[in-house]
Amino acid sequence: MKLHYFPSPEATNTLSTAELRSRFLISGLFQPGAITAHYTDLDRMITGAAVPTGAPLALPDAKETGTAYFLERREIGILNVGGPGKIRVGGTLHELGTLDCLYIGRGEKDVSFETAAGGQAQFFFISTPAHTKHPTAVVRRADVRTDPIGDPAKANRRRINKLIHPDGVKSCQLVMGFTEFEPGSVWNTMPPHTHSRRTEIYLYFDVADNVVFHFMGEPAATRHLVVRDREVILSPAWSIHCGAGTGAYRFVWAMGGDNQVFSDMDAVSLATLQ
């Protein structure tokens, strides 16, 4: 498991493009036949991917967590961004189709990932520390109903699909979902914002051959990262986060921190951006 420690806002302003990418962007997360994970100092969130191709892949024990097994004091949210797959939690097998989500609460010792006949599952996961246990639960893509928000004239008409949140699947601190766009819209999270109470991790996917320009940094000293399909952005509390693609895409968002209030954000005026 790779460790990620973040520079201060002042240090970030001095980084080259290559250095900026090495600190805030994760590539190569989805490796066939393997589980890949990264431990961050963003509220101690762990992000990773499991791509089972043959034998099941077991969620590994990790020295970095300081516990006997991965979920001893953690919870995890898992979104299948590939073909049909299965996740075994203890003695229970959960079948997940494309864009189905599974939440697993604290204390589950045996968790493994499997692919299903006729498809190649690709599981993306986020794990946060947890002080109490909530029951394992599945969120089906077909059951998520959201109304679009945004303005077609500003190219930001989109649907925010909330999967793990206080009004849906309950968790200790993890909040997770994904956003998708209506035809002709490419801007996400515009105007931008920060929220010092929570930090955030993104997975951009279904990007195809397009790219997304992800904007980050302090409002008066913005930077950008060029993001490709199935790459992850790590977003500290002091940084804005917004982006625009050269074509259609989706992105997973996941947060951990002091609260689970989705609307708790500090808006940044476009007039202050530099």
Q: Do domains 2-9+25-142 and 144-272 have the same CATH topology?
A: yes
CA distance 263 to 156: 18
Coil, strand or helix: which one is 212?
strand
The residue-averaged pLDDT of 243-269 equals 82
Considering only the top CATH level, what class is 144-272?
mainly beta
pLDDT band at 50 (very low <50, low <70, confident <90, very high): very high
Would you say 26 and 234 are in contact if contact means Cβ atoms under 8 Å apart? Answer: yes
Provide the pLDDT for residue 118.
77
pTM greater than the 0.85 cutoff: yes
The residue-averaged pLDDT of 217-242 equals 94
**Cis peptide bond N-terminal to 191, omega within 30:** yes
Instruction: For domain 2-9+25-142, give the CATH number.
Output: 2.60.120.10
| 162-179 pLDDT, tens digit each | 999 988 899 999 999 999
Percent of the chain scoring above 70 in pLDDT: 96
Residue type, position 262, single letter: F
Domain boundaries defined on the chain: 2-9+25-142, 144-272
| Token duo for residue 65 | 């967590």
CA distance 131 to 254: 18
Strand ranges of the sheet holding 158-164, from the earlier edge strand across to the other edge: 25-26, 231-235, 198-205, 250-257, 175-181, 158-164
CA distance 96 to 77: 13
- Residue 12: what are its φ and ψ, rounded to 5°? -60, -35
The mean of the pLDDT values for the chain is 91
Lookup result for tokens 């520390």: 129
| 119-163 pLDDT, tens digit each | 899 999 999 999 999 999 999 999 998 888 899 999 999 999 999
